[in-house]
Structure 1
Amino acid sequence: MKKLNLKVYVFLVVLLFISMTSCKKDNISLENNLPEIPVTVSNQFGLFTAPTVSTSLSGGGKIIIELEIPASSGRTIKEISKVAIGTAYGALTTPANVFVSTPIAGNGTKVVFNSTLAEYTAFTKLTLPTSSQAGTTSAAAMLGRNYYFSITLDNGQIIVPQYVRVYVDK
């Protein structure tokens, strides 16, 4: 009877070992989720917690984000298929956060997204940082929400690169 129990025990240990070593690793939220083909922000102002571009109040508040993939990837950018504004990557899947759903055509390995601070504030209903004196907008700061992009390549592959922040100068 003990031999039978030992056989069952060995079988269960082997079965447990096989099941643990054959599991596919799921995405863990603490990992960096970098796309297969890297996307860079070619007009990056700085790298704080994410690539950051700058705009200025005196310059009209134009927001320009230039996204680029390496020429060595063998791929080209067909379009930015979706732009969202939010605080997490889930913004791309939340209809209320989708800022642009009309495709923005790419040009080879580059695509340019254009917007303004006025469009940002109208969409988010957030105000820009203001000075305590006379209520004028004068403080330099990061916008309260980030830009998230869904990029479609020429082969139909979809890439979601790291979000982009916007620094607003006086």
Structure 2
Amino acid sequence: MKKIAFQFLLLTVIALAGTSCKDDYVYSDLVQDNRPDVPVTYPGATTYGFDPYYEVSTAAGGNIKITLSIPESSGRTIKEITRVAAGATSINVATLNTASQNYLAAPIAGNGTKAEFTTTLKDFSAKRPAVSVAPSAEIAFMFLVTLDNGSQIVAQPVRIRIRA
């Protein structure tokens, strides 16, 4: 009986010692969520599934309009859309940071807590000829947004679903 009590007491002490330590784990940036202080959203986009998306019709001219927005309660405003990566749905931050891959000729100025990016499927095809813009295809954009205080945010990618 004494042996069982001693083992129980020893097990309890070990369990308490293991749970009473102050955050011994050190997580690197690779295993943490990298969420910006000011989130960028896409009003009007459909947001279930993987990335938010808009639908664009080739029959309606293929005009693409993406609105970026930050919360008014953030106390910040959007200075500009500094860079845009565009291509197939496999674009990533490395694509965004490659100067030769920048879709924009010049930054797009923000308007308060919103900024609008517009292009067409025809312009997209001219700038990214290797990417299909046929009906039922998807293309993607990723934005580097600069705020009024100079901080920069990489927004979540947004997809464009192309339909006839």
Normalising by the smaller structure, the TM-score range is: 0.7 to 0.9
Where in structure 2 are the equivalents of 1:36-55 lying within 5 Å? 36-55=37-56
Q: List structure 1 segments (4+ residues) > 3 angstroms apart after TM superposition.
A: 20-23
| Aligned positions, number | 138
- State how 1:104-115 maps to structure 2 within 5 Å: 104-115=108-119
Answer whether contact 1:42 1:66 (CA < 8 A) is retained: yes
Q: Name stretches of at least 5 consecutive residues in structure 2 with no aligned partner.
A: 1-22
String of CA shifts for 1:107-154, please: whole Å, max 9, x gaps.
11000000010111111112322xxxxxxxxx33322xx211010111
Q: Is the 8 A contact 1:46 1:53 kept in 2?
A: no
One-letter code of the match for 1:98? N
CA distance in 2, matches of 1:106, 1:140: 31
Gaps of 5+ in 1: 1-19, 130-138
Identity of aligned residues (%): 38
Q: TM-score, normalised by structure 1?
A: 0.73
Relative to structure 1, is the Cα distance of residues 119 and 106 closer, same or farther in structure 2, using a 3 angstrom cutoff?
A: same
Question: 1:101: how far off?
Answer: 4.7
Structure 1 distance, partners of 2:147, 2:53, is 23
Cα RMSD, aligned residues only: 2.0
Correspondence for 2:106? 102
**Higher mean displacement: 71-80 or 34-43:** 34-43
> Partner of 2:148 in structure 1?
154
The range that moved more, 34-43 or 58-67, is 34-43
Partner of 1:70: 71
User: Which residues in structure 2 correspond to 1:91-170 (within 5 Å)?
Assistant: 91-125=95-129, 126-129=131-134, 139-143=135-139, 146-170=140-164
Quote the Cα distance in structure 2 between the aligned partners of 1:65 and 1:162.
13
Report Cα offsets for 1:50-95 as digits up to 9, x if no partner: 1111211011001110000000001011110111114222111113
CA distance, structure 2, for counterparts of residue 127 and residue 141 of structure 1: 7
Matched with 1:135 is none
